[in-house]
Amino acid sequence: MDLAWERSATKWRHRIFGVVVMAILIILMVIFHGEASKEWMTYQKTYNEKLASRLNKPEFRNTPVRINQIWLPQLNTTDRCTTCHVGLENPLFANEPQPFTTHPGDFLKTHPVDKFGCTVCHQGDGQAVTVEATHGAVHHLNRQLLTKEFVQASCVKCHVDLYDLSITTDHFPWGSTFLEGRRLSFQYGCRGCHKINGEGGSIGPELSGFGSRTELAFLLIHDLGHIEGPHMMAQWEYEHFLNPQKVVPGDPKLNLAPTIMPNFGFKPDQARALTIYMLGLRNPKVDAIPYEYIAQKKIAQASSSQPGSLK
Ligand code: HEC
Ligand code: HEC
Ligand code: HEC
Ligand code: HEC
């Protein structure tokens, strides 16, 4: 009798405990979700306000806000960037601040948003809807957002002939920093020690496919103790080009000598170009771009068939 009562009381206690825990979790989720959604909602409302006053159409103020999402199973991406970057395809927003600015260049015309999305070029966390979760150094992210010239490290995924030495900045000005890095890699004889796409020595590690590595794979085998900037792959490479011995000083206690990679005395923009070139050494097996996304027109062909269009 006593035992049965005891058992049912315990069962009830467990049930009540379970319900309370669930309730707390739900409350926390609501609060968290509320905070996170405020940010993008504010951007969209601001955009609608601006659009309404630009076009003198007050009804645009009432456009309902929503999460915009580009789901591309073939690229394995789900991009919500346009939830905040709402004005990308609107030429009226060319002089507005981020996140409203019109996208630079013709990139969204040559790579339609509904087919390409954003992260195939920019990487980052496509599903994030806060600035913090994808911009700047995000420590848990395996593919950090690529901004400014760093985006050039992605073009090679599909424009594979960028590895072709006959292609220069004249043919593909949008890849000028990547191509400068490639040029420096020949000028400074990196292939004396490193194998790159089948060519080079084996004194240093092979660099083919370097840019397709995940941050995690990189961080596991690199010492970040001597890096001044944020602890990220690109930053490590950049500082390593500026001064290899500072980043890989060895350890006298363990009888480890400093790295034998020479300090070439690179200027910051040279180190940046080399970093972008390194990040642009892709591994097609990892990137897994479907065939229909690979640019069919060869770059040199494109520029000769459409004179002037590549300026
Ligand atoms: C929550 C809103 C929001 C989302 C979601 C968002 N952004 Fe942004 N983005 C911003 C804001 C605000 C800025 C300007 C401030 C900054 O740079 O941190 C910005 C800046 C940028 C810049 C310029 C940075 C620079 O240094 O030049 C790029 C590129 C960019 N975003 C790309 C993306 C991509 C790609 C995604 C999706 C993976 C994305 N953004 C998702 C709000 C957002
Ligand atoms: C074909 C590749 C490609 C795609 C796809 C792409 N971008 Fe870009 N994006 C670029 C390039 C290249 C730049 C210019 C980088 C530079 O400043 O040199 C850029 C610049 C930007 C900037 C910075 C603008 C500025 O002037 O500060 C933002 C923000 C941005 N992209 C957001 C997006 C978003 C959001 C998407 C998805 C809708 C997207 N991009 C899709 C290649 C791409
Ligand atoms: C996911 C694959 C993919 C990525 C990544 C990509 N492109 Fe493209 N790009 C294409 C395809 C496909 C075309 C259509 C023309 C073709 O098939 O050759 C194209 C067309 C272009 C064109 C127009 C050329 C012409 O002849 O009309 C330019 C310029 C261009 N891309 C630049 C870039 C730049 C710069 C980057 C990197 C920031 C980039 N692309 C990244 C797939 C890609
Ligand atoms: C004398 C041989 C030598 C030359 C020349 C040389 N390196 Fe290195 N490099 C090394 C060695 C050894 C390492 C491994 C130790 C270290 O990280 O410094 C290395 C490391 C690297 C790494 C880091 C690899 C990783 O897994 O993170 C990169 C990237 C790199 N080198 C690029 C270059 C480039 C680009 C050039 C030409 C500008 C160059 N190296 C010239 C010997 C060399």
pLDDT tens digit string along 116-155?
A: 999 999 999 999 999 999 999 998 899 999 999 999 999 9
**Secondary structure of residue 101 in the 3-state scheme:** coil
CA angle 284, 309, 296 (to 5 degrees): 30
Q: What's the pTM?
A: 0.90
C-alpha–C-alpha distance, residues 50 and 96, integer Å: 10
Considering the domain delimited by 156-305, tell me its CATH architecture. Answer: Orthogonal Bundle (1.10)
What does the block give as tokens for 188? 């400074």
Q: What residue owns the CA closest to ligand 4's atom 18?
A: 259
| Phi, psi angle pair for 21, to nearest 5° | -60, -45
Distances (CA, A) of 15 to 9, 177, 205: 10, 62, 58
| Phi, psi angle pair for 259, to nearest 5° | -60, 150
pLDDT digits (tens, 9 = 90+) for 90-104: 999 999 999 999 999
Best of 103, 113, 127, 154 for a ligand 2 pocket test (most atoms within 8 Å of beta carbon): 103
C-alpha–C-alpha distance, residues 309 and 311, integer Å: 6
Nearest to 82 by CA among 123, 117, 37: 117
Best of 131, 146, 149, 154 for a ligand 1 pocket test (most atoms within 8 Å of beta carbon): 131
Q: What residue owns the CA closest to ligand 2's atom 6?
A: 118
pLDDT digits (tens, 9 = 90+) for 265-290: 999 999 999 999 999 999 999 999 99
Residues of the chain with CATH 1.10.760: 156-305
Q: Is the peptide bond before 99 cis (omega within 30 degrees of 0)?
A: yes
Q: Is 248 in the pocket of ligand 4 (CB under 6 A)?
A: yes
